[in-house]
Amino acid sequence: MAADRLYVLLERLGNLLRTEERAAGLPHGLQPVHLQALRYLQSCNRYSNTPAALTEYLGLTKGTVSQTLLLLEEKGLLRKQADTEDRRVIHLLLTEAGRAVLKQALPPELFKRALSGLPGDGAALDESLTELLRALQAANAQRSFGACGTCKHFQREGSGRFRCGLTQDPLSREDSQLLCREHEGITPGH
């Protein structure tokens, strides 16, 4: 059956990437999950840089993520900032050192080269995988963590000016490209 083949393929690719991530993080004393956390924090928006959001993104328990963050903070790769509105909430901000580690470590050079051999630079692959991920997340009742600009709450207000229909906050063009934990895809045919 095709499902079996695809499952094994994705699993093996996942393992390979993990192995490479392990190697990439080793010189900094970081595990794969640490690099993933850093990368998420680099590309998420200001509503989504909290331990709770990261927990959902990684699909781990909050206790586990709390430990991860402790380590990253000790290494000086991120700092915590209390929220001014909700005093339970903490925002996670990458330091310069954190950004530097990411820049150096990801994505691995090998991966880029392997990709260049694919037809169309992997555009079709991108599309299929995106769809597959979307379906799996929906089946698991998981959030999609898509880019702000592709959300159903995203509103255009003229040239280069946007707004989030959920929070009513104005959004810049840069904002619109960041990942959001409240992201909901636009349901086609509606």
Out of 82, 93, 97, 129, the residue judged to bind a copy of itself by CB under 8 A:
129
Q: 86 — phi, psi (to 5°)?
A: -110, 110
Segment lying near a copy of itself (by CB under 8 A), choices 48-56, 63-71, 83-91, 119-127: 119-127
The contact pattern for a copy of itself, residues 71-110, with x = CB under 8 A and - = no contact, is -----------------------------------xx--x
183 binds DNA (CB under 7 A): no
The amino acid sitting at 115 is L
Burial class of residue 108, CB neighbours in 10 A (0-12, 13-18, 19+): middle
Neighbours of 68 (CB within 10 A): 20
Chain centroid to CA 76: how far? Answer: 21
Out of 26, 70, 135, 186, the residue judged to bind a copy of itself by CB under 8 A:
135
Strands 170-171 and 78-82: unpaired
Task: Give which of DNA, a copy of itself, none residue 160 binds (C-beta under 5 to 8 Å, depending on kind).
Answer: none
The sheet with strand 162-164 has its strands ordered as 154-156, 162-164, 170-171
67 binds DNA (CB under 7 A): yes
| Interface ranges with a copy of itself (CB under 8 A) | 2-21, 36, 39, 58-59, 106-107, 110-115, 117-118, 121-126, 128-133, 135-140, 142
